Amino acid sequence: MSDVLAQVVTLLVLLLQVAVMVALAPVVAGVTRQVRARVEGRAGAGVLQPWRDLRKLLAKRPVHATGTSWVTRAAPLLLVCSSLLVAALVPLVAADPLSLVPDDLFVVISVLLLGTVALALLGLDAGSAFGGMGSSRHMMISALVEPTVLMAVYALSIPVGSSTLSLIVTDRRDDPASIASPAGVLAVVALVVVVLAETGRLPVDNPATHLELTMVHEAMVLETSARDLAWVELGSWLRLTVLLGLVGNLVVPWGIATEPTLASVPLGVLAVVAKITVLAAVLGVAEVAMAKLRLFRVPELLAGSFLLAFLAVTASYLVA
């Protein structure tokens, strides 16, 4: 009986985590934009502007091109649902997963990919040249990101012998030396590059551009409007937020709750919100200093990141 109760409590904490992440996601987008604006010497629209955009978009009627299918209607929802599930799977507030749904990093990645595929199909469905172009580029980047992700996961999981994220995070907290070990650092750096590529940030994709030559994400959602666009945007921001939170917990694993108590859970929420906000601000500053790579230079960046991950694996073999 107490087992069931513990699972229910865990589930409630997970739902709280999802709610916090949904509330935070537009703010994260707002923070990066605002920091960027300030660094560039502009006033900026404020960190809550993405929330106001969402409210506006949800109130409008979507417009669909002739010949579109159910994919256009379902894909935005599928994207946001996959992001929500990822937000429930990754240990952000508490490292205390459900016993039947452990926070296995392979499962997390494949749920993320489900959203990626939904977006790529959305791009193709309207039958415009832009959508196809964005979809093709997006899938090319995803295909090349995949080896790096799995290699980085592998490097992180060697010390604990499992791909369960909460184990990896608590292991790093209990053994801080492993964070600064060559394997740990290399793997996290590789993971950061991958997160930037997968969430469509500079230097892989410019989220602020509408120039044909460089668009990736924006080209796919060109035909999307109103609440469909709101779902796509929310899903993408949620992805960014969750992945930033994961990186934050891997680099600074302190503050995460291991037992769902009344004291530790609020602390966990505060800790993860702080980590994500700081990382979002850092991302904003970094993006001002970086230029977008030419599309066909992106594979070189990803190959470099793959190499880092491979070195991380080798290093952890040598150290262990």
Partner 1 sequence: MTLVAGGLLAQLVLAALAVVLAVSVPARRRALVAGTACATLAAAGAVTGALALGGGEGELRLTGALPLAPLVLAPDRLGGLFLLLAGTVGVLACLYAIGYVHGPAGSRSQWAALAVFLLGMQLVPSAGDVVAFLLAWELMAAASTVLVLADQARNPAAREAALWYAVMTHLSLVAILAGFAVLVGQTGGTGYGVLANTDPASGAAGVAFVLLVVGFGAKAGLVPLHVWLPRAHPEAPSHASALMSAVMVKMGVYGMLVVGLRLLPGGPTWWAVLLIALGAGSALYGILQASVASDVKRLLAYSTSENVGLMVLALGVALLLRGYDVPGPASTALIACLLLVVSHAAFKTTLFLGAGAILHATGERDLDRLGGLVHAMPWTAAAFGVAALGAAALPVTGGFAAEWALLQSLIAGVRPGDRVVAVAVPVALAVIALTAGLALLTFVKAYGIAFLARPRSEGAALAHEVPVTMRVATLAGAVLVVAVGVVPGPIATVLARAVGIAGARPVGLGGLELGGVGAVLDPVALSVLGLLVSAPVLVLAAVLARRRPRVTDVDGWGCGQIRTSPRMQYTATSYAEPLMRIFDDALQPTRDVEVTHVGESRYMAASVQYRQRVDDVVEVRAYAPLVAGANRLADRARGVQNGSIHRYLGFAFAALVLVLVVVAL
Nearer to partner 1, 2 or 66 (CB): 66
Q: CA torsion, points 4, 89, 118, 130, in degrees to nearest 10?
A: 160
**Residue 146 binding partner 1, by CB under 8 A:** yes
CA distance 231 to 171: 36
Task: Write out the two tokens for 118.
Answer: 């939904």
Q: Which of residues 204-223 bind partner 1 (CB under 8 A)?
A: 222-223
Spatial CA neighbour of 116 closest among 169, 78, 150: 78
Residues in the chain: 320
Task: Write out the two tokens for 88.
Answer: 């429930």
Q: What letter does residue 68 receive in the DSSP assignment? A: -
Q: CA torsion, points 124, 130, 133, 137, in degrees to nearest 10?
A: -100
Q: Which of residues 62-81 bind partner 1 (CB under 8 A)?
A: 62-71, 73, 77, 80-81
User: In angstroms, what is the minimal distance from the CB of 139 to partner 1?
Assistant: 4
Q: Which of residues 78-137 bind partner 1 (CB under 8 A)?
A: 80-82, 84-85, 87-89, 98-102, 104, 106-107, 110-111, 113-114, 116-117, 120-121, 124-133, 135-137
User: Are 103 and 97 spatial neighbours (Cβ–Cβ below 8 Å)?
Assistant: yes
Q: Which of residues 281-310 bind partner 1 (CB under 8 A)?
A: 295-296, 299, 306, 310
Site string for partner 1, 255-274 (x = CB under 8 A): --------------------
Nearer to partner 1, 198 or 287 (CB): 198
Block residue for tokens 């859970």: 265
**Residue 59 binding partner 1, by CB under 8 A:** yes
**Residue 24 binding partner 1, by CB under 8 A:** no
**Residue 317 binding partner 1, by CB under 8 A:** yes
E strand map for 83-205: none
Please pick, from the candidates 8, 12, 15, 48, the single residue that binds partner 1 as defined by CB under 8 A. Answer: 15
